[in-house]
Amino acid sequence: MGVVGGGQLARMMIPPAVELGVEIRVLAEAEGMSAALAATAVGDYTDLETVRAFARDVDVLTFDHEHVPQAVLRALVADGVQVHPGPDALQYAQDKLRMRERLGKLGIPMPDWARVENAEQLDDFIAEHGGRAVVKTARGGYDGKGVRVVTAAAQVEEWFLALDQDGGPDAGALLAEELVDFRRELSQLVARRPSGDVTLWPVVESIQKDGVCAEVIAPALGSAGKVAEMAAQIGTTIAAELGVTGVLAVELFETTDERILVNELAMRPHNTGHWTIDGSTTSQFEQHLRAVLDLPFGATGHRDPWSVMVNILGGPVEKSLDEATTLAMADHPAAKIHLYGKEPRPGRKIGHVTTGGEELDEVVFQARAAAAFFQD
């Protein structure tokens, strides 16, 4: 299996590849990245010849991220390379305007949205939605980047200016969305095989800080009934209708009036699924491998009644990473500590902690306390 991109998602595919006897190779952006252990090539994933050379010796190509250009993906498919997820599906994860248009046709519940090509259109949208809107660049955003809450079009003036200079087929527009009055954020993780099988993990609750996933509670509280059913239905429909192969994360808003709305899609293992490494019979990374290799799916049940994942972000820390790790391990022997082999920088995701157990308050406390050693 070849993975384009050498970040932590590629890194976390290594353990299940080792366990399942799958040979894994990574095309990394640079030396010394998170997935360096499996990196057999270093190069630019936007360059067709680089990716083509890497793909020559693998049976299946998959991804650490969604940024490989459509032109490259389509050339690889034309070469006969097995690409999962394929370009037809990936376009909806690469372009938020296309995603909104497509989900709209499928009748998937979403926030109100509009394609806005200029300041006038955006100001109209803001006026129609209580004086506020969420504005997103169609492409290239992640972890809160390319997303802004505004009360006037002037607040994203430079994004409109950049559009004019872009010139691509989808250039010329931003995505405006209503600011949803949500109770909480949920995430529905799904995996789909090329042969069509779909499997799901129970819907989880994701707690964001500054636009970045900070904490995940699995399963989402009180999710046994209607909420879980709606989330599962939405996830299954999107995976099947968009032809996703591999893991799909559907980020959802649960509104105060008890609707479930699709916020974002990610067609790869996702931060809201890291808890599955320790908390589910089959992790999202193992399932992604099984999916892209078209192997039968593993069971997705919870191993503990509750699992909690807390991200470890780099910050202004007095102690070294080794010292923090030692202290966290000493105080929290049952916490599963995951580090991505990255140098800590303020706000950078460098790892995560997962805990599991029967009492949610204790499970949350242990995960937060273990992660805190890396931030204090």
Backbone torsions φ then ψ of 237, nearest 5 degrees: -60, -45
Smallest distance from a copy of itself to CB 217, Å: 19
Residue 96 marked ligand-binding: yes
At a CB cut-off of 8 Å and minimum separation 6, what does 46 contact? Answer: 67, 68, 69, 72
Q: How many C-beta neighbours within 10 Å does residue 161 have? A: 9
Closest to a copy of itself by CB, 110 or 335: 335
Closest to a copy of itself by CB, 23 or 164: 23
Q: Which stretch binds a copy of itself (CB under 8 A): 149-157, 255-263, 265-273, 339-347?
A: 339-347
Angle at 175 between CA 173 and CA 178, to 5 degrees: 150
The site map against a copy of itself for 95-134 (x = CB under 8 A) is ----------------------------------------
Residue 271 marked ligand-binding: no
Q: In the 3-class helix/strand/coil scheme, how is the chain assigned residue by residue?
A: CEEECCCHHHHHHHHHHHHHCCCCEEEECCCCCCCHHHEEEECCCCCHHHHHHHHCCCCEEEECCCCCCHHHHHHHHHHCCEECCCHHHHHHHHCHHHHHHHHHHCCCCCCCEEEECCHHHHHHHHHHCCCCEEEECCCCCECCECEEEECCHHHHHHHHHHHHHHCCCCCCCEEEECCCCEEEEEEEEEEECCCCCEEECCCEEEEEECCEEEEEEECCCCCCCHHHHHHHHHHHHHHHHHCCCEEEEEEEEEECCCCEEEEEEECCCCHHHCCHHHHECCCHHHHHHHHHCCCCCCCCCECCCEEEEEEEECCCCCCCHHHHHHHHHHHCCCCEEEECCCCCCCCCEEEEEEEEECCHHHHHHHHHHHHHCCCC
Peptide bond into 85 cis (omega under 30): yes
Residue 319 marked ligand-binding: no
Closest to a copy of itself by CB, 58 or 134: 58
Smallest distance from a copy of itself to CB 19, Å: 5
* 256 contacts a copy of itself (rule: CB under 8 A): no
Residue 264 marked ligand-binding: yes
* 243 contacts a copy of itself (rule: CB under 8 A): no
Q: Could you give the maximum distance between any two Cα atoms of the chain, in Å?
A: 58
Smallest distance from a copy of itself to CB 25, Å: 10
* 11 contacts a copy of itself (rule: CB under 8 A): yes
Residue 263 marked ligand-binding: yes
Helices 284-292 and 8-20 pack at an angle, to 10 degrees, of 70
* 55 contacts a copy of itself (rule: CB under 8 A): no
Residue 120 marked ligand-binding: no
Smallest distance from a copy of itself to CB 331, Å: 8
Contact pick of 160, 340, 373, 374 for a copy of itself (by CB under 8 A): 340
Smallest distance from a copy of itself to CB 158, Å: 38
Smallest distance from a copy of itself to CB 364, Å: 18
Within residues 305-324, the interface with a copy of itself by CB under 8 A covers 321
Nearest CA to 275 out of 186, 195, 352 is that of 352
Closest to a copy of itself by CB, 137 or 311: 311
Closest to a copy of itself by CB, 65 or 338: 338
Residue 362 marked ligand-binding: no
Contact pick of 299, 318, 343, 358 for a copy of itself (by CB under 8 A): 299
* 23 contacts a copy of itself (rule: CB under 8 A): yes
* 26 contacts a copy of itself (rule: CB under 8 A): no
* 281 contacts a copy of itself (rule: CB under 8 A): yes
Smallest distance from a copy of itself to CB 285, Å: 11
Closest to a copy of itself by CB, 15 or 141: 15
* 65 contacts a copy of itself (rule: CB under 8 A): no
* Contact footprint for a copy of itself (CB under 8 A): 11-12, 14-15, 18-21, 23-24, 37-38, 277, 281-282, 290, 295-299, 301, 303, 321, 325-326, 329-330, 333-334, 336-341, 351
Annotated binding site for ATP: 96, 136, 177-180, 185, 263-264
